[in-house]
Amino acid sequence: MAILDRFRLDDRVAVVTGASAGLGVAFARAFAEAGADVVLAARRPDRLQQTAAIVRAAGRSALCVPTDIADPAQVQHMVEAAMTQFGKIDTLINNAGVASAIPATREAPEQFRQVIDVNLNGAYWAAQACARVMRPGSTIVNISSALGLTTANLPQAAYSASKAGLIGLTRDLAQQWGTRKGIRVNALAPGFFESEMTDEYPDGYLDRMTPRMVLGRIGNPDELAASAIWLASDASGYVTGQTVAVDGGITIT
């Protein structure tokens, strides 16, 4: 196989959670362009249809499954719908997530739990349900965050804890499922990328953070999506249990 062919995902099936906006849309488009059919999961059905149109414009099939990733029953329904439509799942992009920026002394239990339920528990339910039907050679890419590795001058205890937990989950699932099931599990730790999440930051926040970015800028979603293609494809066939920071260098400053 030629080197560049190893990056192709022709006729594979990828599940993308959090596919209704932001980075989820970028992942869905990239996987379609790489040759995969895409199962789109999120809580906003109308926005999922917009993402589906992008996938279909790239010449691939799209299946929209409205899903609250924090509900294991809905996650199981998503997997069953994918299997009914396509008969297989080759890749899971565990992207669904929520953020919070609440001082720790004022954060209510339900606020903390909501972030953990989506970002960490939801990712586990999705990985668990997909792994039950995945064949050897399948891949899971968990979307963690640079905030699972460092801090960013905002009060984000719940978010940081959830993303650090996802890195630990990645390592454990990789060692559980590598030999026994032939599934590779890795994580991406994005820095700051153009998305709905960055739109909600306080005025001037990104400008203040830019000096910490070695490359001096926030990322383009396509740069993160390309990294996900690598981890999902045969190009990274000897990589598992790893967390790859795609952060412009913020975790080394």
DSSP structure string for 176-207: HHHHHH--EEEEEEE--BSSHHHHTSPTTHHH
DSSP 3-state assignment of 220? coil
pLDDT at 147: 94
Full-model pTM: 0.96
Question: With 80 as the cut, is the pLDDT of residue 5 above it?
Answer: yes
| Kind and range of the H or E run holding 81 | helix 72-86
What is the reported pLDDT for 253? Answer: 87
- pLDDT at residue 205 in the model: 86
DSSP-derived pairing of the beta strands 91-94 and 62-66: unpaired
What digits encode the pLDDT tens for the residues 41-66?
A: 999 999 999 999 999 999 999 999 99
> Which residues are catalytic, by number?
159
User: Which pLDDT score is estimated for 66?
Assistant: 98
User: What would the pLDDT profile of 125-162 be if each residue is shown by its tens digit?
Assistant: 999 999 999 999 999 999 999 999 999 888 999 999 99
pLDDT at 35: 98
Across the chain, mean pLDDT equals 95
Identify the CA nearest to 187 among candidates 113, 240, 134, 238: 240
- Separation of alpha carbons 155 and 202, rounded Å: 12
pLDDT of residue 194: 80
Closest CA to 95 of 158, 31, 138, 49: 31
Q: How far apart are the first and last CA of the chain?
A: 39
pLDDT at 50: 97
pLDDT above 90 coverage of the chain, percent: 90
Q: Which domains does the chain have, with CATH numbers?
A: 4-252 (3.40.50.720)
